[in-house]
C-alpha cells in the first residue's frame, strides 16, 4: 500500500522527525494522524509535489501555506483528511513559509533506489506503514500560521560556550544588527549575510581554544573567519572548528527552517 510520485517538486525528501528543519510541523502532522512521534514524513520545499495514491489512506499537510488540492479540490491544512484510492494530491507553490510537511497515517517510507534523506524522483514509490487505528485522535492545538516572507524572523539566542572570548561590542552587534538569510544556506546551516563581525578573539589563549573542534548541536551559532554567523541546522556535522558564540532557543529553531533566502533575521539576546 502506498503512493507514486508523479512530480517530485523541489527538494522533496522522506525524513525522520529528527532530520526535518521544522520539527513542530512534522510533529503536528503525526499527532493529527495518530502516528508515533518517530513516523517519517515528507519535507517539500516550496511545493510542486504531485502524488497519486495507489491505496486509500489518510494524510495531513502542515508547515508552509499555499494551495493544496486533492483531486482538484482545495485541501484544508493542519487537519487529518481521508484519501481514496487513485486520488491525486498536489502541493502548489508555498505563499507563506518555505517547507510543507506531509504526514500519512502509518508513516512513509521510500522504496527502490530512494533512501531517507535523498531527493525523490518522478516514478518513486512510497510505502505506508500500518496505522495504529482507524479513527483520528482528538487534538487541541493552537492555530499555526506559516511565516510571512515579508516580515523579519525573530529568534532568541543565549551566549554560547565561546562567547566569553569576544568583547561586548561583538555580542551587541550580533544581537542588535539585522541579518539576511543567505541563498547559500542549506540543510547543514543557515548562513547569515550582513556587516561582518570581528572574528578575532580577545587573547592568544582564546584563539588556540577557538581553533579546537567544537561539538555541535542544532541551533549552535558559529562565528567563522568571515565574520558572518552560521546557524547549525539538522544536517550539521558533528564538530566544527569555528567557535560557537551563541545558541538559538530550541523552540525558535523551527522558525529558521521556514525562513526564505533574502528574509531578514534578528537574533534577540536572552539570559
Given a cut of 90, whether residue 268 has pLDDT beyond it is: yes
136 pLDDT exceeds 90?
no
Distance (Å, whole) CA 231 – CA 218: 8
Mean pLDDT of 133-153: 80
Tell the burial category of 11 from Cβ atoms under 10 Å away from its Cβ (0-12, 13-18, 19+).
middle
- Check: CB of residue 265 under 8 Å from CB of residue 259: yes
pLDDT for the residue 205: 46
> What is this structure's pTM?
0.91
pLDDT at 1 over 50: yes
> 223: phi > 0 → left, psi -120 to 50 → alpha, else beta; which?
beta
Residue range 105-126: mean pLDDT, rounded: 82
pLDDT in tens, 144-174: 689 999 999 999 999 999 999 999 999 999 9
SS3 readout for the chain:
CEEEEEEEEEEEEEECHHHCCCHHHHHHHHHHHCCCCCCCEEEEEEEEEEEEECCCEEEEEEEEEEEEEECCEECCCCCCEEECCCCEEEEEEEEEEEEEEEEECCCEEECCCCCCCCECCCCCEEEECCCCCCCCCCCCCCCCCCCCCCCCEEEEEEECCCHHHCCHHHHHHHHHCCEEECCCCCCCEEEEECCCCCCCCCCHHHHHHHCCCEECCCCEEECCCCCCCEEECCCCCCEECCCEEEEECHHHHHHHHHCCCCCEEEEEECC
213 vs 187: CA distance, rounded Å: 20
Instruction: Kindly indicate the confidence band of residue 115, based on its pLDDT and cuts at 50, 70 and 90.
Output: low
- pLDDT band at residue 231 under the 50/70/90 scheme: very high
Higher pLDDT: 244 or 137? It is: 244
Amino acid at each position: 500500500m502506498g503512493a507514486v510520485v508523479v512530480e517530485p517538486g523541489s527538494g522533496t525528501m522522506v525524513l525522520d522527525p529528527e532530520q526535518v528543519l521544522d520539527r513542530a510541523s512534522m510533529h503536528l502532522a503525526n499527532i493529527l494522524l495518530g502516528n508515533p512521534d518517530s513516523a517519517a514524513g515528507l519535507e517539500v520545499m516550496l511545493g510542486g509535489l504531485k502524488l497519486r495514491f495507489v491505496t486509500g489512506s489518510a494524510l495531513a499537510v502542515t508547515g508552509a501555506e499555499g494551495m493544496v488540492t486533492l483531486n482538484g479540490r482545495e485541501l484544508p491544512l493542519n487537519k487529518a483528511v481521508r484519501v481514496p484510492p487513485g486520488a491525486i494530491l498536489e502541493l502548489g507553490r508555498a505563499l507563506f513559509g518555505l517547507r510543507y510537511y506531509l504526514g500519512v497515517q502509518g508513516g512513509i517510507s521510500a522504496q527502490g533506489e530512494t533512501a531517507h534523506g535523498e531527493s525523490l524522483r518522478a516514478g518513486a514509490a512510497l510505502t505506508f506503514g500500518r496505522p495504529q487505528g482507524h479513527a483520528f485522535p482528538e487534538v487541541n492545538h493552537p492555530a499555526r500560521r506559516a511565516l510571512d516572507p515579508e516580515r523579519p524572523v525573530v529568534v532568541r539566542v543565549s551566549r554560547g560556550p565561546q562567547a566569553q572570548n569576544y568583547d561586548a561590542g561583538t555580542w551587541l552587534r550580533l544581537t542588535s544588527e539585522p541579518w539576511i538569510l543567505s541563498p547559500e544556506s542549506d540543510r547543514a546551516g543557515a548562513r547569515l549575510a550582513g556587516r561582518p563581525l570581528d572574528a578575532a578573539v580577545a587573547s592568544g589563549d582564546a584563539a588556540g581554544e577557538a581553533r579546537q573542534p567544537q561539538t555541535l548541536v542544532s541551533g549552535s551559532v558559529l562565528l567563522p573567519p568571515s565574520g558572518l554567523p552560521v546557524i547549525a541546522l539538522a544536517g550539521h556535522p558533528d564538530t566544527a572548528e569555528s567557535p560557537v558564540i551563541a545558541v538559538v532557543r530550541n523552540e525558535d529553531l523551527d522558525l529558521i527552517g521556514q525562513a526564505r533566502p533574502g528574509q531578514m533575521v534578528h537574533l534577540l539576546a536572552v539570559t
